[in-house]
Amino acid sequence: MRQALVDRPQDASLPGRFYTDPRFCELDLAHLFYREWIFAGHSGEIARPGDRFTLQIGDYPVLVVRGHDGVPRGFHNVCRHRGQVLCSGATGSGRKLVCPYHQWTYELDGRLSFARDMMAEIDASRFALSPIACEEVAGYLFVCLSPTPPDFAPFRDAVEPYLAPHRLARAKVAFQSTIVERANWKLVVENNRECYHCSSNHPELCRVYSARPVMSNAIGQPQDEAVDAHWRRWESKGLPSGFRIAADGQFRTVRLPFLGDAESMTADGRPGCRRPLADFPEPGLGSMLLFHYPSTWNHVLADHAVSFRLLPRGPNETELTTKWLVHAEAQEGVDYQVDHLTRVWVATNDEDRSIVESNQRGVSSPAYQPGPLSRIHESGVTQFLDWYAATMGERLESSVPSR
């Protein structure tokens, strides 16, 4: 893989092995998904002490729970007795964590508090749940499997000013969907990072969101009067809006306008929820886009937010979980209708699933060769692949034993 990254053609898609080889997938997991901060879920999903949810990152079952002290914590979702998955449900709540196998019981901070007929013969302090780094920022929860996680502060400092006005910490999940796309995770990200395909594939989305190259620009200088004016307007009102990207390209934020008089990413452009997330000074906020490689992209609006979490399930399978968030006190049937709220992205996700699955069949052909990327329309794809190649190249280099 190191040599293939060195030899890869610039401004082009990757060689086929990057999308098909099980060993390359294992390296992606080992050097990215097991070492980077991974978007896990939202603060509102564990609003009260004892609330919890689970996810699977590669080979690792993960548990995220809110402690009695209000602090969210991550743990390996594995009982310290004989390795049973501790919490098998997607969500749950309770004052303690109880293994369903032999009822070993843990406090919400991970301490072992009960092992039937064994407490006198073991040192309970040695059998606490194995912790995972967990961070909370403006309603988002991230976990990192590495015992030495990257510094979270640069990401927090960059995105918190953009997210904070939307008050997502008090939001709830109105609806969520999980689909499995039969395609490599990088194809899923690449497809998301350009709208070259949008006008011919996403009729619902394109009613409210422009397919112009400026909307997926990865450089930050759109030279587009409408976008420039949008940035100036909202920056003048104290809302961070301009393009901001990490020095290494891993995450970025920007606020972009909708088409015409659309106010939301709904089929008719009207708000998906009558109760806004926050009190914004006037209409026309558009969408705040947040990307963080390798696991998430987001649209955060005035009335609701849509988050996307991507997790590989093998070299040619990717799990995509989408969550629609609304104000915690919004009432279904009164403030929002689920179908109206979700229609655009339910349709767009399904359309993208079909696209990337066909893309996977194509790159799996012996006839496939990397093709050139459009400088106008696919700068976002180029930027993602450059980040991927640089990050993987550096980590593969550092993992080679010195001679």
DSSP string, 239-300: ---S-EE-TTSSEEEEEEPPSTT--SSSTTSS-S-SS-SS--SSS---EEEEEETTTEEEEE
Which residues are within 8 A (CB) of 244 and not within 5 positions of it... i.e. 6 or more apart? 158, 162, 220, 252, 253, 254
pLDDT classification of 46: cutoffs 50, 70, 90: very high
Average pLDDT, integer, range 106-116:
98
Domain count, the chain: 2
In a domain, 69, yes or no: yes
193 has a pLDDT exceeding 90 = yes
* 321 and 238 in a common domain: yes
* Same-domain pairing of 139 and 160: no
Say whether pTM exceeds 0.85: yes
Kindly report, residue by residue over 267-299, the tens digit of the pLDDT.
999 999 999 999 898 999 999 999 999 999 999
Let me know: does 243 contact 252? Beta carbons within 8 Å.
yes
If one compares 220 and 132, the residue with the highest pLDDT of the two is 132
pLDDT at 401: 62
Kindly give the residue spans of alpha helices, DSSP state H, lying in 48-177: 153-163
Looking at 98, 122, 144, the residue that finishes a domain is 144
pLDDT at 403 over 90: no
Are residues 197 and 110 part of one domain?
no
**What is the longest distance spanned by two Cα atoms in the chain?**
72
Comparing 17-31, 35-49, 208-222, 260-274, the range with the smallest average pLDDT is: 208-222
Domain membership of residue 372 as a residue range:
153-379
Q: Which two tokens stand for residue 210?
A: 């422009």
For residue 219, pLDDT over 80 is answered with no
Across the range 109-136, mean pLDDT stands at 97
Q: Do residue 127 and residue 198 come from a single domain? A: no
- DSSP helix/strand/coil, 66: strand
DSSP state of 159: H
Domain co-membership, 165 together with 138: no
* Same-domain status, 131 and 158: no
Asked if 338 and 268 sit in the same domain, the reply is: yes
171 CB burial (10 A radius; 0-12, 13-18, 19+): buried
Residue 36 has pLDDT above 60, yes or no: yes
Say what the alpha-carbon torsion angle 33, 256, 249, 304 is, to the nearest 10 degrees. Answer: -20
